[in-house]
Structure 1
């Protein structure tokens, strides 16, 4: 009986162990690689200038744009000393990861502007920063030791960066938008840091940032921290999605997205300009035409294009009496007529008055004979 119980206990224990290990063994490979971080491998560890190598990666974020560069004066432990200025930027390639965070891209081998040791440097273009390096020996390229690390202070960002401030009314009409980049840094080195010079860059979309030097005045002792405020300003009329980056000693310390609104005041200005200018040109043209147009003699004189002739006010004509004689249009005085008979008010010519019996105007009377 005891043998049967022992026989039943062994499979039961094995089943419990299998159930406990199932969540770990059943994880997809992509999730395990993502937990380890981004990884880069090369098809060949050595290649000459003019050749090419196939770069494969895994553990990256899905659907992320990456940049592949051959960089000198770099190691996977220290990274790229001097930033992208030590890379062959003209022969770089871009690639987008798939849904599992993997990629494969052929990269031409070019000689970097600085001596080796060399690596293939892969870094994200947008979003949260992530990078990885793979050692590559460029045949025929000079090799020089890396510069010694300074034993002084070393800055590290201890808190999330943020942009403070707001845009004024002038920004709505195209003035340069400005903010203040606020972050907290700590000195993790063994020496003090005095008046450190940071580099603040702003990038629009996938373009490379434009860096400006910003100096922070103060001394940071080893193991101490301080809050740093640096001004950030974009160009006039800037709008869209921007990324503000912070760099110190050739290393990018932090990145902060910044969405800039469109300057609608500029758009409103152009709309009003398109309406006012044609109206003004039309009025000027009408004034010129009114000045050059020939005038009728005796017509009303206009003082401007907006002066219209006033309608004449005419009263209704009353009916004329039948007994009323019409007034002469051009009366002539009798003493100005050469042959006018006195008493003729109209100044008409008439024969002298006679007592002729045939005169229709003089009645004839007969007396007794």
Structure 2
């Protein structure tokens, strides 16, 4: 009985963990980022209070945008935007100074996180900014959605970015070893309906042969006119020599959506090492040949000297050799 009573707190703690984990997962899955303003309209130069709720922890950018439908970053007053830090509870507070957007109203206040995956907008009237006419708004719609596509995503930019760090960070590419790059995909919803979780496929390969599957990014939800940037890792297969192609496709749209980027790298370290080895080998071979040639020349020179010395040496005997005269001396008596 005593053991049972001692085990009850442990059982209660285990039940609390088991019940709280699904709740936390559900809260993360059902995240609904939003914000409120203390005013629905303001003049240029006024300040409004922005309060964030249920955002991912991090930095949220808040700015004034114009243009009505199909708002992109070029329609917003990006230089006068304010950044607000969202805490672990997803809440934050900041002050936004109202400025005129690059295009006319209808205007909104837009808030989005650093990845662009979470976004919220609120209608806002900027006093003193003229409204676009019906013809101008229709012209914007025709330019940004010429085929009147219902479900349409447009890739405005796709690139492979090198890793940040010192100059020697890419030492693996010097020797054609596998290397990781960061792919940056910028997508805009140019349709007239929100797009949620479309199927994205990405592959990588040497040259134009992109056949190795890459784990793709997840496009959660994009409202009409919303722009988002997605980053995901791409491993370039070995040997990393010449060009590598990363090709992707977004399925389920009214029109095909294909994006592609190319990275070029050369194994200068491998080539330099090969050149050094070849140079040392050539020096070794040439030095051996030079020693052999010098030795042969020395032997030839000695042989020539012996021959010349033999010709100059007089013979030891013969008819032409005369004896040396001798002197006789008389002994005194």
TM-score normalised by the chain length of structure 1 = 0.45
Question: Higher helix proportion, which one?
Answer: 2
TM-score normalised by the chain length of structure 2 = 0.49
Larger radius of gyration: 1
Higher relative contact order, structure no. (Cα contacts within 8 Å, ≥ 6 residues apart): 2
